[in-house]
Structure 1
């Protein structure tokens, strides 16, 4: 058989190396895709937690409530999910204002707050 008629192609070793490189690249791509999806879900959860905290502070301001210093807890529903909130009311040097520190917790987060917000409530003028 002459050299001109010899067929050229990939050897088994070259094919296995190419497949190994392809497998590593695909697994890295799928891992990156999974991390991106998880980050998007966590961002959504934190955004909903922020909305719960903002709604609670807006509720205090809209009702004209003058909260007493201390800690109180409750729950709120946002986007079909139930969230727990904890507010800590503190006095300020100005007796016409109260500081409100809000923490929001997702049901599965335990005691890890997914959102925190600090705001002030003014005493209604009489």
Structure 2
């Protein structure tokens, strides 16, 4: 009768399996972290777009005729405060002005999270 071989895994096989599992899990957690970070940045950019659109809509709705130059201000959106900077420029048509709005997030420093350009028309008299 031949001796029976014990069933089961050796210690070395178990350690190799655990090492492979640890590497796979760390890669999965890293991927989840990157996805979460990307989602937060996308949210900030979307809110920045809303702030810029609101600023252009406000200029159009009030019939404002801003002077050429740079204007700055803040806007509250989604429970946070965002800075905006608009550059007003003359156009070839004296009845229109170009407005370039840049929006800066609470944590973005001087890096704009959104930019939008639009035109305002001089109110007819």
Output aligned runs, 1:54-65, within 5 Å.
54-65=53-64
In the other structure, the counterpart of 1:73 is: 72
1:122 shift after superposition? 0.7
1:53 shift after superposition? 0.3
In the other structure, the counterpart of 1:108 is: 107
1:7 shift after superposition? 1.5
Distance 1:35 1:41 in 2: 10
Distance 2:69 2:52 in 1: 17
Distance 1:64 1:15 in 2: 74
1:11 shift after superposition? 1.3
1:86 shift after superposition? 0.1
Distance 1:46 1:124 in 2: 32
Output aligned runs, 1:18-57, within 5 Å.
18-57=17-56
Q: Can you give the 5+ residue segments of structure 1 that lack an aligned partner in the other structure?
A: none
Distance 1:63 1:6 in 2: 88
SS in 1 for 2:66: coil
Distance 1:59 1:124 in 2: 14
Question: Residues 11-54 of structure 1: CA distance to partner in whole angstroms, max 9, x if unpaired?
Answer: 11111111110000000000000000111111100000000000
Q: How many residues align?
A: 125
Q: 4+ residue runs of structure 1 moved beyond 6 angstroms?
A: none
1:60 shift after superposition? 0.1
Q: Would you say 1:8 and 2:18 are equivalent positions?
A: no
Distance 1:116 1:72 in 2: 15
